[in-house]
A and B are shown apart, each in its own frame.
Chain A
């Protein structure tokens, strides 16, 4: 009755976790190798079926860790290799954090697969597209399932590859292929930091397994001076700060934070569902997930957390400012994604781990919905992306309009949708959570966050108004058509989830449902954090503020402020783009052309990087190529050897004059000479 045992999640799951990865991987292989011959119907049947199977296993795993009694399911698939005495296992584990991530990845992933069957239906590379998409799901599942840093790194690199392949999906267009390369290279820079972070973690703790790390990192004292090893003479806090900052470099690459965010807006070159799945809902949140996963470590490094929070806040504001003037519907959403990711990093940076993950989940729902909505608009408008040419689409695309409206309300943080609760849980935490060493950080972050929230509200409503309200401004003769059920279906499901997720975020007296759901995961981190804060307070002679409340009464002032801020943004956008102030934007642009150009050109960050990094690299590469390689190595060393040998041979060949007796004479004389030397 083995199969019956396998049906029981508590005994079956530990042997089934790898199927979450294998199903889409097999789908990717089949579609990749045979897809061209299988026909479209079979291709999307395989692709969607594989992801749905993954989703089913993930859902069972989520049920098991939520209600089934086990808090952590692990599977040791096989022993990978051993370095020194550190075993590296290909092992997977599911706890509540992983399970919720898996369900978002495979669930939203499935919806986007479904959406793509219609969106991509006219594309020649249909099979290739689904193969890549399945590959992405497999790699993203590896990233969150991995029970140690190295398996996570495999997924981390794998999603980077999938992202590259899908951004450059239409590779015959040079610009899109270039965007793919840019994403890959910028990510590689971050990945290098991530890899160094893994090495540093191994050097510090001698293990890469998350559970073992958590045990090793419990009860540490920050001021301990380490002896031996690579961190000889460092304090514990300094060493952990280094580990955390190095890993955070990886996160800035993958999750598009300053200074490595530049690839994400360009990643919009890929098909729109890809932007929804990879560059909004899942892959870009990997950095947030990684920090939440290692929260017990970050808790020891107040400096690293301050950096994370400040970078997050700076990114949130900066990206939102750029989004003000973007006219490409996907670019607005891209900068909005960067900005929202900044919010998540504020969350993990101030110790509100659950709020960051909650925002991650709700953002996955509403941003996927927004992107798919944008895809639907483009589908109906001949792939046009310029919002200045849209307008009044509400009448023509009712389903897209309605779902887009719900998602926009959610992202701008208006009651009672999920985005309101998740964003304000983060802002509230930033406002009240203490960081004893850097006491100015939380409030700075809070005000930056508020400003970013205001900006979010403004640019999202600007885009919404320009697209769906008012009158059509361009393409007047074009009749937009509403998309079919395979596209509107996922839109409705996602907007439903956006609404429904709010129930997890409502602040009950004992904390939000989502907070209680994840409390077991972040318990060690919170315990560590409390100890670190206590130690810091003692050291600095200050007293810790009382633990912040998180019931409705404590949250209410923050809620009101946030709501007012969101409504102000909405009001400005309404006034400037629908109401009586329609002339003002154009007048402002005319008045301050330089300022507008700076906004519109993304504050010249790409140009700055080009001048500071890309060009010097290109010049030095040219020097290495032309001077070192072509001249010194090729001409001097390689060809030089041959030429020199030729010259010498030219000289010596005149000894070969064809007279046999002269040869004999040389031999005889030489023999005599040798004998002479040896005998006398």
Chain B
């Protein structure tokens, strides 16, 4: 297997992260915002694993597994919250869910 240089991984991860951040910041649909978050998490995962592999250490893998587990838990809870919000508000547009303010 050809050795992919570290820079490539990092570039890809940066691109994924930026896309995810953009989604979180600009999209109004909570589901899409959520997908953005997932993208950012996986971009971080990719970075960690790339470094881990390059440096030949195992800790990165462990962290990646944790991140995956956390992401799964987050997805479960986040979706549940969204369903609950939709039930009460009939919308999941994040602009309209702004009752928690001064």
Contacts and interface: CB of A to CB of B under 8 A. Distances in A.
Interface stretch (A302-310, A558-566, A624-632, A656-664): A656-664
A654 B98 CA distance: 13
Contact of A664 (B25, B95, B100): B25
A654 B101 CA distance: 8
A658 B100 contact: yes
B24 A657 contact: no
Nearest to B102: A653
Interface string A630-670: 00000000000000000000000110111111001100100
Interface in B49-95: 94-95
18 contacts: A653-B102, A654-B102, A657-B101, A657-B102, A658-B99, A658-B100, A658-B101, A659-B98, A659-B101, A660-B94, A660-B98, A661-B24, A661-B26, A661-B33, A661-B94, A661-B95, A665-B25, A668-B25
Contacts of B97: 658, 660
Nearest to A654: B102
A653 B102 CA distance: 6
Interface of B: 21, 24-26, 33, 94-95, 97-102
A656 B25 contact: no
Given A661-B94, A661-B95, A656 B24 contact: no
B101 A656 contact: yes
Interface size classification for chain A: 10 to 19
A106 to B, nearest CB: 78
Contacts of B24: 661, 664
Contacts of A661: 24-26, 33, 94-95
SS of B interface (majority): loop
B21 A668 contact: yes
Nearest to B24: A664
Given A657-B102, A661-B24, A661-B94, 5 more contacts: A658-B97, A658-B99, A659-B101, A661-B26, A668-B21
Contacts of A660: 94, 97-98
Contacts of A657: 98, 101-102
A660 B95 CA distance: 8
B29 to A, nearest CB: 11
Contacts of A653: 102
Contacts of A656: 101-102
Contacts of A659: 94-95, 98, 101
A312 to B, nearest CB: 79
A668 B95 CA distance: 18
Contacts of B33: 661
Contacts of A658: 97-101
Nearest to A659: B98
Contacts of B26: 661
Interface in A297-342: none
A329 B39 CA distance: 103
A548 B95 CA distance: 112
Contacts of B100: 658
Contacts of B101: 656-659
Contacts of B21: 668
Contacts of B25: 661, 664-665, 668
B94 to A, nearest CB: 6
Contacts of B98: 657-660
Contacts of B99: 658
Closest 9 CB pairs of A and B: A658-B101, A658-B98, A653-B102, A657-B101, A658-B100, A656-B102, A659-B98, A656-B101, A665-B25
A188 B87 CA distance: 78
Nearest to A668: B21
A661 B29 CA distance: 11
Nearest to B28: A661
Contacts of B94: 659-661
A657 B25 CA distance: 16
A290 B26 CA distance: 92
A659 B100 CA distance: 8
Contacts of A664: 24-25
Contacts of B102: 653-654, 656-657
Nearest to B26: A661
